[in-house]
């Protein structure tokens, strides 16, 4: 199957695209192991259908996303594996625990607050049905234009906009009365939930000065609201801005090379 492409051709196919494909698959599965496994399967299918690889570089990502979405549609359950009630039970069922944040150093605190926001926002996406989840991710996380996004999901642009509208409403309805990132007066504040998140394994702390959590290891603190280094640390309020500002997940650095080695055999 992989013999259709030599190593240089495999590198040209995989290297420019695997990180964004991983981002897409991870946001839809909320599972690192599945994301890596599914990504391997996507590129295996792509190599097996090498004659269909678009000639234009700009079209290759859309084609690969289409393969990934088709695979996910076949493998993901039709109903979400998590829901808003489970998320509330995990993070909001216990009393707030501000003592945990007060006991941390500044780098630790910023690190865990940022990761809690990351993990929570991605979990909210996973409360959507897969079709709406995919539409939301290609729009607000990958920032793909409507026509290309619809093509990658193998639906009409009007159907894509319907899915996206439904996804936005569900996420907005959930976050608007709860999340401090939408409104600082809302009751759910990351600083008060870090203790619960650590206790329930939603995020994990390691060592005396760092942490290992669900999505990534930032090289520098991002502040309470995660607006990024050098920006005013204020709530972004808008859902599009919040999700558009999430950095890519932190996949294994050598994953691209492993995919190339695997398919070159």
Residues 40 and 8 in one domain: yes
167: exposed, middle or buried (C-beta count within 10 Å: 0-12, 13-18, 19+)? buried
Chain centroid to CA 55: 28
What's the 3-state SS for 113-173? Answer: HHHHHHHHHHHHHCCCCHHHHHHHHHHHHCCCCHHHHHHHCCCCHHHHHHHHHHHHHHHHH
- Which residue segment(s) compose the domain that 115 sits in? 84-128+163-244
Domain total for the chain? 2
Dihedral sign for Cα 69, 70, 72, 73, please.
Answer: positive
pLDDT at 230: 54
Q: How confident is the model at residue 182 (pLDDT cuts 50, 70, 90)?
A: confident
Asked if 73 and 9 sit in the same domain, the reply is yes
Q: Examine the domain organization and report whether 24 and 107 are in the same domain.
A: no
12, 120: one domain: no
Please compute, for residue 63, the number of CA atoms within 13 A of its CA located in the half-sphere on the CB side: 18
Who wins on pLDDT, 67 or 243?
A: 67
Specify whether 16 is located in the same domain as 141: yes
> Band of the pLDDT at 157, cuts 50, 70, 90?
very high
Same domain? 6 vs 61: yes
pLDDT in the model for residue 211: 41
pTM score: 0.81
136 and 179 inside one domain: no
Q: Which of 14-18, 91-95, 169-173 has the lowest mean pLDDT?
A: 91-95
Q: Are residues 120 and 21 in the same domain?
A: no
Q: Are 146 and 160 in contact (CB under 8 A)?
A: yes
Q: Which residue has the higher pLDDT, 202 or 89?
A: 89
Residues 9 and 49 in one domain: yes
Residues 20 and 60 in one domain: yes
Most confident range, picked from 46-50, 190-194, 238-242:
46-50
Co-location of 65 and 179 in the same domain: no
CATH number of the domain bearing residue 38: 1.20.140.160
Q: What percent of the chain has pLDDT over 90?
A: 49
What is the share, in percent, of the chain residues with pLDDT greater than 70? 81
């Amino acid at each position: 199957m992989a013999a259709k492409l030599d190593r240089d051709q495999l590198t040209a196919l995989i290297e420019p695209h695997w990180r964004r494909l991983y981002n897409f698959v991870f946001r839809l599965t909320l599972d690192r192991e599945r994301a890596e496994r599914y990504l391997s399967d996507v590129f295996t299918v792509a190599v097996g259908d090498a004659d269909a690889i678009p000639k234009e570089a700009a079209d290759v990502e859309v084609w690969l996303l289409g393969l990934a979405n088709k695979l996910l549609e076949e493998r993901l359950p039709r109903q979400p594996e998590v829901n808003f009630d489970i998320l509330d039970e995990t993070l909001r069922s216990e009393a707030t625990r501000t003592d945990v944040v007060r006991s941390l150093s500044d780098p630790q605190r910023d690190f865990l607050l940022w990761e809690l926001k990351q993990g929570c926002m991605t979990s909210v996406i996973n409360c959507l049905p897969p079709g709406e989840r995919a539409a939301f991710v290609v729009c607000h996380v990958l920032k793909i234009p409507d026509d290309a996004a619809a093509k990658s999901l193998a639906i009409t642009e009007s159907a894509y906009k319907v899915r996206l509208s439904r996804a936005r409403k569900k996420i907005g309805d959930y976050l608007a009365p709860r999340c401090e990132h939408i409104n600082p007066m809302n009751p759910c504040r990351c600083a008060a939930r870090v203790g619960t998140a650590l206790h329930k394994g939603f995020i994990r702390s390691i060592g005396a000065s760092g942490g290992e959590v669900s999505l990534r290891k930032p090289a520098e603190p991002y502040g309470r609201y995660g607006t990024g280094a050098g920006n005013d640390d204020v709530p972004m309020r808008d859902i599009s801005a919040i999700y558009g500002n999430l950095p890519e997940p932190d996949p294994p650095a050598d994953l691209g090379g492993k995919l190339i080695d695997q398919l070159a055999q």
